[in-house]
């Protein structure tokens, strides 16, 4: 029986069982941002060095159009849209759409922040006072406008360095290409979306993203951003049989176990994200994989607490904690409390339940 090897390994390792649900993990809130040192002469962005609780993307002080310092931490807990603006651009009429969004959603928690920049086609030549007057006169802008700055190139301000860097914003990195690009930031400080200049503020795409972000509650400050928030995947056994290999079906839908030392990820050292082989839910990072010697790929924590779910498993006359995919309920393996620090947990997984997506 396949499970006998695992059972022996577990007993030898002196594993005790865990109560389901005791596997939540934490990550420290962002408190320091390395790009803050890249402040260029032209920019007004400065680190406000908040001790904790302020998301990295709001950990800056910027000057407003009147030259006063504004601590971006004041927007904590709100949905924030950061837009680089210009007065003489083909997209300048988007000010009207942005003002409409402000009218509609400010009371619900949206903050629009405009950052004038002369970076693209020299389409923002005026002074801060002239920019303010232009916005007021032509579009009745009421959302918060900041002093003229740079959002690209060597002069780019530290906030935009964070927004465009692969290191600090891996999902949406890359230079700003033109006026009126928009970055959408969730209540928890997670950068949720990026819209290029041609996506209108009143487009369905943008409205939907804003409404979804507003609907999310601000989490406690120790809660990490959830990498996966997808809806449940529910299929019949017949449907799963068509999608999965017989071995995957046996393990993932019938709670089977692959034989120890036979799985393709047991010795895998490649960097990347391990997804659920059935539904693509992101489950584990290679950064938390370790050599357990058990014959199954082992991790000391899931990518996020909400990537997986756990259930008490009393099969085989033992009480163990089963680990399933939170999205499709596929059986993945078990979790034991004989893992390495910092969690002390060992997520003992079946290779066939996983799909490694190598790091780009």
Q: Is 327 in the site for Fe ion (CB under 5 A)?
A: yes
Q: Is 251 in the site for Fe ion (CB under 5 A)?
A: no
Task: Determine the interface stretch with Fe ion among 11-19, 224-232, 320-328, 336-344 (rule: CB under 5 A).
Answer: 320-328
Q: Which of 86, 213, 328, 345 binds Fe ion (CB under 5 A)?
A: 328
Q: Is 206 in the site for Fe ion (CB under 5 A)?
A: no
C-beta of residue 131 within 8 angstroms of C-beta of residue 116 = yes
C-beta of residue 191 within 8 angstroms of C-beta of residue 169 = yes
Q: Is 303 in the site for Fe ion (CB under 5 A)?
A: no
Task: Determine the interface stretch with Fe ion among 67-75, 171-179, 294-302, 323-331 (rule: CB under 5 A).
Answer: 323-331
Q: Is 354 in the site for Fe ion (CB under 5 A)?
A: no
Cα(324)–Cα(358) distance, integer angstroms: 22
| Residue number, 76 or 334, with CB nearest to Fe ion | 334
Q: Hey, is 64 helix, strand or coil?
A: strand
In the complex, minimum distance from the CB of residue 278 to Fe ion, in angstroms, rounded to a whole number:
5
Q: Which of 330, 332, 345, 348 binds Fe ion (CB under 5 A)?
A: 330
Q: Roughly how many angstroms between the first and final C-alpha of the chain, as a whole number?
A: 39
Q: Is 332 in the site for Fe ion (CB under 5 A)?
A: no
| Residue number, 183 or 249, with CB nearest to Fe ion | 249
| Residue number, 206 or 276, with CB nearest to Fe ion | 276
Interface positions, 154-173, toward Fe ion (CB under 5 A): none
Neighbouring C-beta atoms of residue 216, cutoff 10 Å? 16
Cα(82)–Cα(280) distance, integer angstroms: 31
Cα(169)–Cα(75) distance, integer angstroms: 19
Cα(288)–Cα(300) distance, integer angstroms: 6
Cα(57)–Cα(12) distance, integer angstroms: 47
| Residue number, 80 or 252, with CB nearest to Fe ion | 252
Which residues make Cβ contacts (< 8 Å) with residue 21, sequence separation at least 6?
310
In the complex, minimum distance from the CB of residue 2 to Fe ion, in angstroms, rounded to a whole number:
21
| Residue number, 185 or 303, with CB nearest to Fe ion | 303
Stretch 259-288: interaction string toward Fe ion, x if CB under 5 A = -----------------x-xx-x-------
C-beta of residue 253 within 8 angstroms of C-beta of residue 277 = no
In the complex, minimum distance from the CB of residue 21 to Fe ion, in angstroms, rounded to a whole number:
19
| Residue number, 176 or 323, with CB nearest to Fe ion | 323
C-beta of residue 352 within 8 angstroms of C-beta of residue 336 = no
Out of 276, 279, 325, 348, the active site residue is 348
In the complex, minimum distance from the CB of residue 276 to Fe ion, in angstroms, rounded to a whole number:
3
C-beta of residue 111 within 8 angstroms of C-beta of residue 81 = yes
Angle between helix 204-215 and helix 94-105 axes, rounded to 10 deg: 30
Cα(322)–Cα(301) distance, integer angstroms: 14
Q: Is 325 in the site for Fe ion (CB under 5 A)?
A: yes
Active site residue 348: yes
Q: Which residues bind Fe ion (CB under 5 A)?
A: 276, 278-279, 281, 325, 327-328, 330
Residues involved in catalysis: 348
């Amino acid at each position: 029986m396949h499970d006998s090897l695992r059972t022996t390994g577990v007993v030898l390792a002196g594993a005790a069982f865990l109560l389901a649900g005791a596997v939540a993990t934490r990550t420290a809130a962002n408190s320091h941002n390395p790009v803050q040192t890249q402040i260029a002469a032209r920019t007004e962005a400065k680190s406000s060095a908040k001790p904790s609780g302020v998301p990295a993307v709001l950990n800056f002080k910027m000057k407003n159009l009147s030259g006063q310092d504004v601590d971006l931490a004041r927007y904590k807990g709100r949905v924030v849209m950061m837009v680089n603006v210009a007065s003489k651009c083909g997209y300048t009429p988007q000010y009207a759409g942005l003002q409409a969004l402000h009218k509609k959603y400010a009371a619900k928690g949206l903050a629009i922040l405009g950052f004038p920049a002369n970076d693209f086609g020299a389409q923002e030549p005026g002074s801060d006072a002239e920019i303010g007057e232009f916005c007021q006169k032509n579009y009745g802008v009421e959302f918060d406008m900041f002093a003229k700055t740079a959002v690209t190139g060597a002069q780019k301000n530290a906030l935009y360095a964070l927004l465009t860097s692969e290191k600090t914003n891996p999902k949406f990195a890359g230079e700003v290409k033109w006026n009126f690009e928009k970055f959408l930031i969730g209540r928890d400080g997670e950068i949720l979306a990026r819209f290029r200049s041609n996506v209108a503020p009143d487009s369905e795409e943008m409205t939907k993203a804003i409404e979804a972000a507003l609907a999310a509650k601000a989490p406690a400050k120790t809660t990490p951003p959830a990498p996966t928030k997808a809806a449940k995947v529910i299929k019949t056994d017949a449907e799963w049989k068509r999608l999965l290999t017989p071995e995957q079906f046996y393990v993932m839908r019938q709670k089977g176990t692959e034989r120890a030392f036979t799985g393709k990820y047991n010795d895998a050292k490649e960097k990347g994200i391990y997804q659920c082989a059935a539904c693509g839910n992101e489950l584990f990072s290679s950064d938390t994989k370790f050599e357990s010697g058990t014959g199954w790929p082992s991790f000391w924590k899931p990518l996020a607490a909400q990537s997986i779910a756990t259930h008490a498993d009393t099969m085989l006359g033992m009480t163990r904690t089963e680990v399933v995919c939170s999205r499709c309920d596929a059986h993945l393996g078990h979790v034991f409390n004989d893992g390495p620090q910092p969690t002390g947990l060992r997520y003992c997984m079946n290779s066939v339940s996983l799909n490694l997506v190598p790091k780009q």
